[in-house]
Amino acid sequence: MDNYNLLVVEDDMTNSILLKRILIKAGYSVTIANNGIQALNILDKNKFDAVLTDWMMPNLDGIELIKMMRDRLSELPYIIMITALHSDGAMNYALDSGADDYISKPFNVGELLILLKEGILRNNQDIPVKEENKNRIEAIIPPFVGVVIAASTGGPPTLIELFKNLERVNTAAFYIVQHGPAWMLDKFAGTIQNSTNLNVIHGQDDMTSSPGNIYIAPGDLHMKIQKKTMNIILDNGAKENFVRPSADPLFRSAASSFGRYMLAVVLTGLGRDGVIGASIVEQQGGKILVQNPDTAMAPSMPRSVIEAGIPHQLVNISDMPNVLLQSISKINEELKRAK
């Protein structure tokens, strides 16, 4: 084997050491970068045959790194995204962002080495590779506007305040993921109902969703929206972002179901839930509203969307009801013209 040079971008030291050992044993020369910024600095001075990058990293994540590589490098290496995210939506987003291949953790070493060898050879031989149309926005015409909302720590009082001041909306359905145990979410649905003239409903599997309603994900189940039927799907799949329900599965399914005719709202909360989903919503043409972290009890979730570089509108929580109404009205007019 030729002594190909590889760059591994991974912020977890254990994972980077393990991957480096595997690749060196297979005959590759390996350099390690601990984050996307460090990787760019290395790439500015050195040429590599392949880059294997994690997705979730501080300072500059794998998606943004790939986009910047494609903008800055005259000779592109073969790029593999290696991530713990297991979903078709995440994979499609990574590939549309410029990755050549996608592998989810834990990976099969043999499959990785085969993929790496074939990819480097293909890249070096300049064999044309069929690419999907990047930045493609699928022509989806849903029956009504969709609004998906993510909230965690500090979410209950924030959501109550939001819906208490929101006029009745008959042209959009609201889908909420609020992190918390089942007993809390059962009680919380009734509390919201006392604060709004919209109908508040616990999501049930195969339930048909319709405008004028608020659907709340139940405890310990992911809530998704089925394309075309708009039925709600519940599943007990693996936790994402360490939680179930997680906002990312909801956001991804909404992007497939509503396309550009939707809003994704990221409110107060700890962690990064909603970031990947918001990226996919934005890719499909949907609009992202982010609570101003300065008005959030826990600023991590909204701040993570901002730091990820996802196009968004920053909104103080006191202004959120009016911004939601205006945005829904505008999107609904666009939807009526499209039908």
Please say if 273 is a catalytic residue: yes
Cβ proximity of 266 and 300 under 8 Å = no
CA 78, 84, 86, 90: dihedral to nearest 10 degrees?
-50
HSE-CB at 195 with a 13 A cutoff on CA atoms is 17
Please say if 179 is a catalytic residue: yes
**Catalytic residue (choose from 16, 87, 97, 152):** 152
- Residue among 167, 177, 314 at smallest CA distance from 249: 177
Q: What is the enclosing helix (H) or strand (E) of 146? A: strand 145-151
**Catalytic residue (choose from 222, 273, 279, 312):** 273
**Catalytic residue (choose from 179, 202, 222, 312):** 179
- Residue among 67, 137, 58 at smallest CA distance from 99: 67
- Supply φ then ψ for residue 200, to 5 degrees: -105, 125
Work out the number of other CB atoms within 10 angstroms of the CB of residue 309.
Answer: 13
Distance CA 34, CA 11 (A): 5
Work out the number of other CB atoms within 10 angstroms of the CB of residue 115.
Answer: 18
Give the catalytic positions in this structure.
152, 179, 273
